[in-house]
Amino acid sequence: MKMLKTTAIAALTLTALSVAAAAPERLNVKLGLWEMTSIMRFSGMPPLPKEVMDKMTPQQRAKLAADLKAAAAEEPEPETSSECITQEDLDKPFHSSNSDDCTSTIVRTTRTSQEIRMVCTGKTKGSGTFKVNTPTPETMNGTLDLKAGDGPDAFVIKGTLKGRWLGADCGDEEDNDDVVDDDEDTAEQ
């Protein structure tokens, strides 16, 4: 679950900041070190490859479904990460969302908001929308709504993001994005 949440956070953050360059107008955000806090809620069954599902016994499938249902019922905890946003990040659209199976399309962009539509048509079919608002060049917030698969057990992710600019110097974060443990972070203060 942690890997899924971390992947969703990274996708949300990178999408929020890097796809702006492909639009006629860019989001007005400052370059440098950003603190991003996100909360991801999910429901349903993540679409697993058929070969993985075929190797699972009915009991393993039932346990996986029960574990996911229990995890989805828990109140999600915010996750905070530090992200270095460079001009290069803004100039290169979010590559992993534009593959042979998945594409991202900028629906609308202004200096203070952007909406992106994502569609996957490969083995795992899905779609979603990401919306980001930048009330100031030093703050942002956004929402993510994704759905993968069909039927009553379709996998749904709903997320929120808040970001604040920390400064122009990324320091050690230039080549490394760190996820901050909120418990450790508050214990140090």
125: containing domain: 2-168+179-188
Confidence band of 46 (pLDDT split at 50, 70, 90): confident
How many domains does the chain divide into? 1
Q: Residue range 9-32: average pLDDT?
A: 61
Which percentage of the chain shows pLDDT scores above 70? 72
pLDDT at residue 36 is higher than 70? yes
Assess if residue 124 is contained within a domain: yes
Assess if residue 174 is contained within a domain: no
pLDDT at residue 186 is higher than 50? no
Assess if residue 66 is contained within a domain: yes
Assess if residue 13 is contained within a domain: yes
Which percentage of the chain shows pLDDT scores above 90? 34
Assess if residue 50 is contained within a domain: yes
Q: Which comes out higher in pLDDT, residue 84 or 20?
A: 84
Query: Order of strands across the sheet with 125-136?
Result: 102-109, 113-121, 125-136, 139-148, 155-167, 32-43, 79-85, 178-180
Residue 20 has what pLDDT? 43
Please, are residues 148 and 155 in contact by the beta-carbon 8 Å criterion?
A: yes
Please, are residues 128 and 112 in contact by the beta-carbon 8 Å criterion?
A: no
Residue 8 has what pLDDT? 52
Assess if residue 52 is contained within a domain: yes
φ/ψ region of 114 (left if φ > 0, alpha if ψ in -120 to 50, else beta) reads: beta
Tokens describing residue 97: 């969302």
CA distance 116 to 132: 9
CA distance 11 to 96: 9
Q: Which residue, 39, 17, 47, is CA-closest to 144?
A: 39
Assess if residue 173 is contained within a domain: no
Work out whether strand 178-180 and strand 155-167 pair parallel, antiparallel, or are unpaired: unpaired
pLDDT at residue 29 is higher than 70? yes
What is the tens place of the pLDDT at every residue in 126-168? Answer: 999 999 999 999 999 999 999 998 878 899 999 999 999 999 9
pTM higher than 0.85, yes or no? no
Assess if residue 33 is contained within a domain: yes
